[in-house]
Structure formats: C-alpha cells, structure tokens
Amino acid sequence: PDAAARAQAEARNDRLTKPPRSLGRLEDLALWLAEWQGTARPHVDHPQIAVFAGNHGVTARGVSAFPAEVTVQMVANFEAGGAAINQLARAAGARLTVHSLDLDRPTADFTQGPAMTEAECVAALAAGWDAVEAGSDLLVPGEMGIGNTTSAAALACALFGGDARDWVGRGTGVDEAGLARKAEAVEAGLRANPGARGDALEALRCLGGREIAAMAGAVAGARARRVPVILDGFICTAAAAVLERAVPGALDHAQAGHQSAEAAHRALLQRLELDPILTLGMRLGEGSGAAVAIAVARAAAACQSGMASFDEAGVTG
C-alpha cells in the first residue's frame, strides 16, 4: 500500500463538506482504494469481473442439486449474456471476462486422493493471475462450478480446522440427505489427503478446483498490479483464504463484498477479519454479491474524489 497516497487522501477527506466521519464505511473504502491505487483521488472507472469455471470430480458423490453439465451450460449462458452476472456487470458498469478451465477434464474426486496434480494447480493459478487485465482499477473474482461449495468447504476445513459439518451448507439447494453427503465427502477428502491440513497451497491442490485456484491466482495477480479486490461469497473467500494462510497480510488489498446466505461464509469472513460491505441474502456465486458492491466502492471513490472542500464551497466548517 502507498502510505503517502493514503495520508494525502485522509487530509483531503478531512476538508470535504460533510461532518467528520459522516460517510461511514464509504470513507474507509475511499482510503483503502487510495492506498492501493496510489492516489488521493481514487476511481472505479474500469472495474473487471473475472468469472472462472471448472468441473469437479467430487460431483460423483451426489453433493449438488444440479448435474455437472450445468457448469458448461452456464458458461454458454454467460457468453450469451443471459446470466445474473451479465446483468449485474452491466448495471455496475463493469467489464465481464469469462474463463473456462478445462471443463471437459473435471478435477479428480478428492475423496479418493488429490483433486489436482501440481502442474494442474499451477496452470490454474497462472490462468487467474493472467486474467487481470491491464487498466482494470478494481477486480471482482467470481466462479461457476457445480460441486464447488463442497470443495470450498473441504478447503476451509483444512485451512481453519473444525468439523466438516461446520463448513458445509445448502449450496445451490441440496436437501438434508445432500447436506450429509457433502459432510461425508469433506471428511473423506481430509482423510484421503493428509498433507492438506497445515499447508495452504497443498490444501488448494488436494481439495480445491481449477476455478478456485484461478481465483486465488487472480487475487494474487491483482496484488502484484496494485489493483484492489472485492471478494464474493463462500467459494471466492475460501480461495482467497489460501493466500492469507500462506502469507499473512496477502488480503490487505481485498474487501469482502457480500456476506452470503451460504451458512459457513460468515465464519470464514470472521476468521479472515473481513467485514462484508453488503448482506443481501444472496447465494448465487458468479461474483454476483461482489458485483453489487462495486457500486458502493464507486460511490466511495466519487465522494472522495469529487466533493468540494469547506473552503472551496464557502461553507462554515
């Protein structure tokens, strides 16, 4: 972060025509954007939503309410402009990029062994890193992958401990029996991959998926380019958590956009000390919750960068 830009932004903020701190979280967001963008007048002019899609071998365990072919069908829907994230991107004035990751080659079923080889995991991380476009001034990573709440739950369990039951949820809408199958899959995954606990990148390889690794890569790639990131829901946050567990402070350039209705997301945000900007009961994935939060970040930047000072406006401060 750019401490000088932050100090300049704070000094400017103190002179704007409003009672001190009266814009609340918007002021925090503006200063955060300022320190990562390196300017006292931050902007959200070119936000990018990068949606990554992958398929999961663990779907063989009956962990999703939807069949695995829905992943590729939804990618076609993204490309045709018919999905929620297309509408949310347009409403937010954001550029949407869609990245399919070997959809015809699902990861291995992690209840039997590692989901990915090292080469596969590195390739997915690199695809995410490379997806951040030059000129983007804010990044939202999103995902599509039938079965990926189970993968994210296994990853969270490996990273933070606790029982499988603590981390599984309804996902796209499984019933009680489906929820039990998800918990069993997470337990089996941790048994089958003993190296996953206590090694964040190994947990990603063994229990994650290509789109999850790609989101981690995108968050890291954004950091290298000083692009601030707004995280989406449970799966996106689990991907980002890999970075924080590997390198504490790795998420300082990230905010949580939305607290998902997926049960374990709140616990995951608390472990990462992230305070969600929005809580709208969404649980769709695709980057959808964070996409709505883009407008809040833009509002924050607009006030910080566009307001008059007390002196400029001739207002008694």
Residues forming the site for its own copies (CB under 8 A): 16-20, 22-26, 65-67, 69-70, 73-74, 76-77, 80-84, 86-88, 90-92, 172-173, 261, 277-284, 288, 291-292, 295-296, 298-299, 302-303, 305-308, 312-316
Catalytic residue (one of 27, 120, 244, 286): 286
Q: Which residue has the tokens 């476009």?
A: 133
Q: Which is nearer to its own copies, 90 or 105 (CB)?
A: 90
Closest CA to 243 of 268, 216, 263, 225: 216
Phi first, then psi: give them for residue 100, nearest 5 degrees: -85, 130
Phi/psi at 176 (5° precision): -60, -40
Q: Which is nearer to its own copies, 144 or 204 (CB)?
A: 144
The half-sphere exposure of 104 on its side-chain side, counting CA atoms within 13 A, is 0
State in angstroms the smallest separation of the CB of 255 from its own copies: 12
Rounded to the nearest 10 degrees, the angle between the axes of helix 210-224 and helix 118-131 is 50
Give the nearest distance from C-beta 24 to its own copies in angstroms.
Answer: 3
Q: 136 vs 305, which CB is nearer to its own copies?
A: 305
Minimum distance between the CB of residue 158 and its own copies, rounded to whole angstroms? 26
Of the pair 203, 284, the CB lying nearest its own copies is at: 284
Find the shortest distance in angstroms from Cβ 10 to its own copies: 17
In the complex with its own copies, which residue's Cβ is closer, 162 or 173? 173
Q: Nearest approach, Cβ of 199 to its own copies (angstroms)? A: 33
User: Is-catalytic flag, 286?
Assistant: yes
Cβ distance to its own copies smaller for residue 92 or 220 = 92
Residue 74: CB minimum distance to its own copies, A: 6
Active site residues: 286
